[in-house]
Amino acid sequence: MPNQAIKKYTPLLQKVIIASADFISIFISFLTAILAVKLFVGPVFDYIPIDQFGARFSIHFILGLGAVMWFWLQLRHYSYRKAYWNELYEILRTVAFLSLLELAFLALTRVETSRYIWLFTWSAALILMPLFRSFAKRLLKSRNMWNRDTFIIGAGTNAFDAYTAITSEPLLGFKINGFLDVAANPLHNNFFITNNLLKNSTALISSGDLILNWHDKNNFQVVIALEHHEAELRDHWLRLLAKAQIRNVFVIPDMRGVPLY
């Protein structure tokens, strides 16, 4: 049975660290733009009047805070763990929107600035924000503060596909502790042994009590990956998890045999 005594982490601390990495990346992008202008274009204050430098910096600072709040409250990047490409798309889209928003702010406030500063700033942000976000997650992972105990409800082909997809992205941080065989099918044990899944503290369990009574429900993930014909079991487990106040639940439907038209 998987060991429950893993190092405890605080979700709020995770959010603060990743949010700080995002804000720092935006702040550094502005400094990078100033350095790039100085190295490749000319004296910085020829492109940002010295008496308006503070206003220009303040606008960028406010946009940085706005980006963090947008990721935190609207996109829920600091609460939900999304696939890499989905998260990257949302980051790049947000940075592009902020760059246009900054132009609007500069026009409304009549702050003089160079297009070189604007271009270098947001080009750097497009690169630095994903890098800093990835670095923050790797730092948390190295400190054993990122992995989240995870159980997959299901022990068929769909559960195996879910396991493969989850483990293919290590930065998601899902530590698969076991599979719940709700159908209690003896063939599933042979299937898991054949695919070399019963290793690294991963177990095939037949009772859901371990999941429903997990010691730390706030830092816990459940993935429901039942087969297409097990829809009633899926609905049953959704009710049980809601009653047990387990909120971190993914449902992965089995799409095999479903027509695409």
pLDDT one digit per residue (tens) for the chain, 261 residues: 444 444 555 788 999 999 999 999 999 999 999 999 999 998 988 888 899 999 999 999 999 999 999 999 999 999 888 989 999 999 999 999 999 999 999 889 888 888 899 999 999 999 999 999 999 999 999 988 898 999 999 888 888 889 888 989 999 999 888 888 887 665 555 556 555 555 555 677 877 888 888 878 778 899 999 988 888 999 999 999 999 989 899 999 886 655 544
Residue closest to 4 by CA, chosen among 214, 195, 180, 248: 214
Structure token pair of residue 40:
């490749």
Residue with tokens 């946009």: 63
Q: What is the predicted pLDDT for the residue at 229? A: 85
Axis crossing angle, helix 84-109 with helix 115-142, rounded to the nearest 10: 140
User: Using alpha carbons only, how large is the chain's radius of gyration in Å?
Assistant: 24
Task: Report in angstroms the alpha-carbon separations of 213 from 35, 59, 95, 222, 243.
Answer: 55, 49, 42, 13, 11
Q: What is the predicted pLDDT for the residue at 6? A: 43
Q: What is the predicted pLDDT for the residue at 197? A: 59
Alpha helices (H) along the chain? 11-40, 53-69, 84-109, 115-142, 157-167, 186-194, 209-212, 231-243
Sort strands 203-205 and 148-153 into parallel, antiparallel or unpaired: unpaired
- State phi, psi for 238 to the nearest 5 degrees: -65, -40
Structure token pair of residue 129:
């924000």
Residue closest to 64 by CA, chosen among 34, 92, 31, 25: 25
Task: Give the DSSP letter of residue 63.
Answer: H
Q: What is the predicted pLDDT for the residue at 186? A: 58
Q: What is the predicted pLDDT for the residue at 5? A: 40
Cβ-contact 177, 201 below 8 angstroms: yes
Q: At CA 75, angle to CA 73 and CA 76, rounded to 5?
A: 60
Q: What is the predicted pLDDT for the residue at 4? A: 43
Coil, strand, or helix at residue 249?
strand
Q: What is the predicted pLDDT for the residue at 1? A: 42
**Residue-wise DSSP of 123-178:** HHHHHHHHHHHHHHHHHHHHTT-S-EEEEEE--SHHHHHHHHHHHT-GGG-EEEEE
Q: What is the predicted pLDDT for the residue at 2? A: 44
